[in-house]
Structure 1
Amino acid sequence: MATEDASLADFKQLLVTGSNHVAWSGDHLVRFLVDWYQRNEREHHSNQRPPSTGDRTPKLSAACPTECLLNSTAIIPKLISEGKADIIIDTLRAYGQLPYVDKEALVLCLAVASKQSDQKKLVTDAHSAVRELCTSTHLFFLFIQISKMISKKSGHSGWGRGLRRAVNEWYLSWEPQRLALEVTRHSGAHGWTHRDVIRLAHLKLKDMPLGTQVVLHYVFLGLEKTVKEYTGKDNTSELLALMQILDKDGHPKDGENTWDIDQVISKVSKLQEVFGNLTLDDVPSQSLKSAEVWSHMLDKLEGESAVASVNRMSKANLLNTGTENNALSVKLGERLKHEDISGGCVTPTQVLMALHAYEHPTRFVGESGVRRAGKSPRLAAKIQVRRSTKVNSQVTDALRLLIATSAKSIPKTSQKLAVCVDVRASMGTAHVHTGNPEGKGEVSCYEGAAVTLLSLSSGGTNPDVSALAFSGEGLVELQVPEGATISNMLEKFKETVIGVVNVEAALKMAVEKKMETVVILSIKFEPNTIATITETLTKVNETNNTHIRLVLCGLAGKHMDAQRTENFLLALGFDHRTPTIIRAFHERLF
């Protein structure tokens, strides 16, 4: 990347990684700060003390989250000062189409761009891009929440004409049936509901198409009044029938909103007929304890929901071996082997996380407060309790196979890449530092390295990816046959004569074989070692007139600061985006 494009490179890094730090560690800064801001506001209105932010963030003032958000996107004003305002929205639109982008970081940048009041064209373009880039209720309400945070800091309400127009266009951009699905699937997010947003944006239903009117009328007044208002009007009968199926409250019974099994099954069938697929968000959570419901909808779930269903079914005790529901385990195993899942958007790392959450289940249980003499009760604490659940071999075998088949479906990169693995025994005993909410710490560094290698090599089908190991005999090749599984790779790691990690040797090999990127997978790297390595990288590139990129991936590493160096990425820990971030860096997307 040329020096004069450093600002644009930093901007792209923020879009891909969600962070402007040299070391990427999988943190969701945007989500954390927005959640903290909302909790702080609730506590402020209740005249209670500000919420604790945990060990990883210092005590914050009420304005601090907004400051952090603005500091993380200071690159946007910098681009404007360099005369590059015109490329900001174009870059957001281009990166919004990529599978590598952090959607929340993209929406953050869009919101910040929309608040550059001295750049009228940029603000107009940003508001026009909302309907294109905010592709779900979650992202749309995130945009509104960040806009509110920024406006509040400057003393404004945030509901100017441009934002009201953006909200209007967002609702109009949905086909009525899809809008009906969206407002019933996700009624709110980030403290906002559709009713709040429509009211504050002063949307005029009478000026909207009839189908959109029907859906937004339902948002405000519910199903019964909407059916009464629009029955008999032109072309509304089909939409009203669909909304009766989608209605999130179900049929009232004895004063409560409940769902019976037949109603849920009817909803599942209708969703499949109209939209072609189904997610777990489309089904009432209380019905997910029914084997009959699961049996009816398993073959209709899209890929990510099918993988997530493993742990949802496990928590409902529907996968235990030897029970009457064992047939359900067989059906789930067959579903996970279907080609529409392995060839879809499911990644090997997502499947690995689901597998470990299933094999090592945990849940959090709140304890009752304990009253102490003369003192107030202790706050209820959340403790981690392990559930004793036998895993079903049919399900685990299907998940392991899915890791291999989903890796093969990852598009091949056209640039040469070397993946060098530390195969010392400590990699097999150390656990990765991960953001996985369930089964945390169960993934070994060996497994993290194996799934990263399979992902980057497209399941052994990419001839431009070389797999190597640091051996006592130097760098030796690791054969990754097409369709290789994690078990295959773990055996290869264990069979290799161990040796120390030698980054200089890896860079020398990259020069000889004209590699574009070198990835080093190890347990962790010390700060002083990283400084030496980056100096070596710079020297190698200057000496050989090359632009080799280096990724140090410390699978068990935690937060660490490093000096920004051209062509260098430090990835700490391991989560479902680790191979994606490495691949994006390799393909020069930041």
Structure 2
Amino acid sequence: MEPSGSTPSNHTQNSTGGSCPWEVNDKAKLCRFLCYGSEGDIYTAREEDRASMENAGALLSMLQEGRGTEVVEEIKRFSQDGRAVRLSPSFFALALCSQHSELKTRQAAFKALKEVCRDPAHLFSFIQYKKELKEGMKCGIWGRALRKAVSDWYNEQDALSLAAAVTRCKQREGWSHQDLLRLSHTKPARDAIALISKYVTKGWKEVQAAYADKENSEEVVKVLSYLEVVEKVKHSCDETEVIALMEEHKLEREQLLTDHLKSKQVWRALLKDMPLHSVLRILGKMTANKVLEPGSSETQSVCDRIQSETALKKAKIHPFSILLASENYKRGQGYQGKTKWEPDSSILKAMDAAFYKSFLNVEPSGKRFVVAVDVSTSLSSIVPGTSVSTAVAAAAIAMIFVRTEADTHVLTYSEGAVVPCTVSPDMTLAETTIELVKIPSGSTDCTLPIAWATESGKSVDVFIILTNNPLWSFSASPVEALKKHRQISGANTKLVMCGLTSIGHAVADTEDRGLMSICGFDLGALSVIRSLAQDLI
């Protein structure tokens, strides 16, 4: 944790650089773009457009200034540290760097390809962006550098992992492995890669004919037997055989036929090894299709897994993810309204337990927070794109900070008054919600919590203002109130304004890098707040 006497001058040493600590410079804009796909100070939850030139002005400026290798380093950092809320901006930025006029930038981009594009879907996305960026130009994209980079991508993979990857994700965005291997003129570096290349381009029959009577290495034998299993499943109508092969070889949903997915038993087998994130997403569908029936052993084992601390930790499940999944499951209906189910009480109980256990997965940032809440108790107020009421969402957000950050104050504010709340780490979600909605809310004056902290002599690193009131009002300018707090407290204070029901309006058009607006709320919003708190965007 920073000492309370830290001065704003420390701020110049952060990753986004720049002479003035609060100036929104090109580096800061690039970091925002890589984090959530926009250079602006508004993060809109659950809204993902394809990354495009319109949103990448700073990226282009930095390339023109000869700072291409710096851009590539930043792309690598964002894609590897799990900081990027959305991945496509990184692939777009890398594609742009890979065809920049400066040789050094192009070389750095191609060298970074394997680190940034870790699976086939990422690689296909990168190639598609290259194609789109070349549309206006006369030359093709398959020059020697791209051919080498794509060849290296395949050649440097572990053979068995590559066999699994090419059978799971065969094509995306109009590209297939067959296209990429052919266009890159890949010369396989090892026998096992040659085998996978032959399988992708020529098919299983030719592979069988070519490898039947050969003395094969151990690696080739492993890949051959794996591909044999994948082919066997593709042509099998025997449910028992399919399940046995799936369980033995950890096959995934994408490697099965649509017909297989009509079977309840196949789904039950899939659920055993399916990543926990995916399990949480399809609980409603599984209950509706009677794959998970009340009191069954399958339901029991799914419940055990959902609330297993080890499983939650391994999958790095965040409490907010569980809240979203749990409220959606409670609703008993899919978003399109076609699928309906009767929520199973044991699954609801397991998700409730998992919510509290998963707080251990939240990494503290060690900063000082004030979470100020202004939500009405109106039950019709729902966070867009979710089944969560704004009051419950605000309570969950407050709990996340109270339980994981040692220095957190929770306030409710309304009608010109600020009331500190008693939200302790041992309170339940229901108790926290009741505590927050005690006070009727009125106008949303987001400067009140800042004034409260300044007058109370509290140094705050991040103010998080939560409201479901679509209209913000200010007794003073939020930027001025923020500057005053920075000056008096000596802290590098930021302000995050979250309109929980908002679908995309800015609160203040400002060139102050410490101010951020969030419209709606999702897991990505928490990631954006964390990155802002740590001076990463």
Specify the TM-score bucket, using the shorter chain as the normaliser: 0.7 to 0.9
CA deviation profile, 1:425-457 (whole Å, cap 9, x unmatched)? 23x4301122xxxxx5x2211122123233344
What is the alpha-carbon distance in structure 1 between the residues aligned to residue 261 and residue 115 of structure 2?
Answer: 33
CA deviation profile, 1:205-235 (whole Å, cap 9, x unmatched)? 4xx2111111121112222321321233223
- Structure 2 contact 459–489 (Cα < 8 Å) conserved: no
Tell me what 1:550 maps to. Answer: 495
Q: Residue 574 of structure 1 aligns to which amino acid in structure 2?
A: F
What is the alpha-carbon distance in structure 1 between the residues aligned to residue 175 and residue 32 of structure 2?
Answer: 29
Q: Residue 568 of structure 1 aligns to which amino acid in structure 2?
A: L
- Given the alignment of the two structures, is residue 355 of structure 1 paired with residue 326 of structure 2, yes or no? yes
- Given the alignment of the two structures, is residue 571 of structure 1 paired with residue 514 of structure 2, yes or no? no
Instruction: Select the residue among 32, 38, 48 that pairs with 1:13.
Output: 32
CA deviation profile, 1:166-212 (whole Å, cap 9, x unmatched)? 1111111210000011011111111111111111222234xx21111
Once the two structures are TM-superposed, the CA of residue 282 in structure 1 deviates from its matched residue by 5.2
Map of 1:452-467 to 2, 5 A cutoff? 452-457=397-402, 460-467=403-410
Q: Residue 330 of structure 1 aligns to which amino acid in structure 2?
A: Q
Once the two structures are TM-superposed, the CA of residue 284 in structure 1 deviates from its matched residue by 4.8
Q: Residue 325 of structure 2 aligns to which amino acid in structure 1?
A: A
Instruction: Select the residue among 402, 412, 422 that pairs with 2:364.
Output: 412
**In terms of mean alpha carbon deviation, does 393-402 or 525-534 score higher?**
525-534
Instruction: Select the residue among 91, 97, 100 that pairs with 1:107.
Output: 91
**Alpha-carbon RMSD:** 2.7
SS in 1 for 2:364: coil
- Given the alignment of the two structures, is residue 342 of structure 1 paired with residue 312 of structure 2, yes or no? yes
- Structure 1 contact 429–445 (Cα < 8 Å) conserved: no
What is the alpha-carbon distance in structure 2 between the residues aligned to residue 319 and residue 385 of structure 1?
Answer: 20
Tell me what 1:223 maps to. Answer: 204
Instruction: Select the residue among 226, 233, 239 that pairs with 2:223.
Output: 239
How many pairs align?
A: 508
SS in 1 for 2:523: coil
Identify if the C-alpha distance between structure 1 residues 142 and 552 changes in structure 2 by more than 3 Å, giving closer, same or farther: same
Tell me what 1:183 maps to. Answer: 166
Tell me what 2:424 maps to. Answer: 480
What is the alpha-carbon distance in structure 2 between the residues aligned to residue 319 and residue 506 of structure 1?
Answer: 47
Once the two structures are TM-superposed, the CA of residue 345 in structure 1 deviates from its matched residue by 2.0
Map of 1:368-517 to 2, 5 A cutoff? 384-426=336-378, 428-434=379-385, 440=386, 442-457=387-402, 460-470=403-413, 474-482=418-426, 484-495=427-438, 501-511=444-454, 512-517=457-462
Identify if the C-alpha distance between structure 1 residues 388 and 304 changes in structure 2 by more than 3 Å, giving closer, same or farther: closer
SS in 2 for 1:547: coil
What is the alpha-carbon distance in structure 2 between the residues aligned to residue 571 and residue 395 of structure 1?
Answer: 32
SS in 2 for 1:560: coil
- Given the alignment of the two structures, is residue 300 of structure 1 paired with residue 273 of structure 2, yes or no? yes
Identify if the C-alpha distance between structure 1 residues 564 and 82 changes in structure 2 by more than 3 Å, giving closer, same or farther: farther
What is the alpha-carbon distance in structure 1 between the residues aligned to residue 100 and residue 493 of structure 2?
Answer: 37
- Structure 1 contact 351–403 (Cα < 8 Å) conserved: yes
Identify if the C-alpha distance between structure 1 residues 27 and 430 changes in structure 2 by more than 3 Å, giving closer, same or farther: closer
Query: Which fold has the larger relative contact order, with Cα–Cα distance below 8 Å and residues 6 or more apart in sequence?
Result: 2
What is the alpha-carbon distance in structure 2 between the residues aligned to residue 240 and residue 570 of structure 1?
Answer: 53
Q: Residue 467 of structure 1 aligns to which amino acid in structure 2?
A: V
**In terms of mean alpha carbon deviation, does 523-532 or 385-394 score higher?**
523-532
Once the two structures are TM-superposed, the CA of residue 263 in structure 1 deviates from its matched residue by 1.8
Tell me what 1:198 maps to. Answer: 181
Identify if the C-alpha distance between structure 1 residues 163 and 353 changes in structure 2 by more than 3 Å, giving closer, same or farther: same
Identify if the C-alpha distance between structure 1 residues 190 and 124 changes in structure 2 by more than 3 Å, giving closer, same or farther: same
Once the two structures are TM-superposed, the CA of residue 408 in structure 1 deviates from its matched residue by 2.7
CA deviation profile, 1:449-486 (whole Å, cap 9, x unmatched)? 123233344xx14312333322676231332324x543
With structure 1 as the length reference, what TM-score do the two structures score? 0.79
Identify if the C-alpha distance between structure 1 residues 313 and 387 changes in structure 2 by more than 3 Å, giving closer, same or farther: closer
- Structure 1 contact 469–477 (Cα < 8 Å) conserved: yes
Q: Residue 214 of structure 1 aligns to which amino acid in structure 2?
A: L
Tell me what 2:529 maps to. Answer: 582
SS in 2 for 1:19: coil
Q: Residue 310 of structure 1 aligns to which amino acid in structure 2?
A: L
Tell me what 1:93 maps to. Answer: 76
- Structure 2 contact 35–83 (Cα < 8 Å) conserved: yes
- Structure 1 contact 298–306 (Cα < 8 Å) conserved: yes
- Structure 1 contact 279–305 (Cα < 8 Å) conserved: no
SS in 1 for 2:337: strand
Tell me what 2:247 maps to. Answer: 268
- Structure 2 contact 447–476 (Cα < 8 Å) conserved: no
Identify if the C-alpha distance between structure 1 residues 544 and 414 changes in structure 2 by more than 3 Å, giving closer, same or farther: closer
Structure 2: where are the runs of 5+ without partners?
Answer: 1-10, 13-17
Once the two structures are TM-superposed, the CA of residue 330 in structure 1 deviates from its matched residue by 1.9
Instruction: Select the residue among 276, 288, 296 that pairs with 1:326.
Output: 296
SS in 2 for 1:8: helix
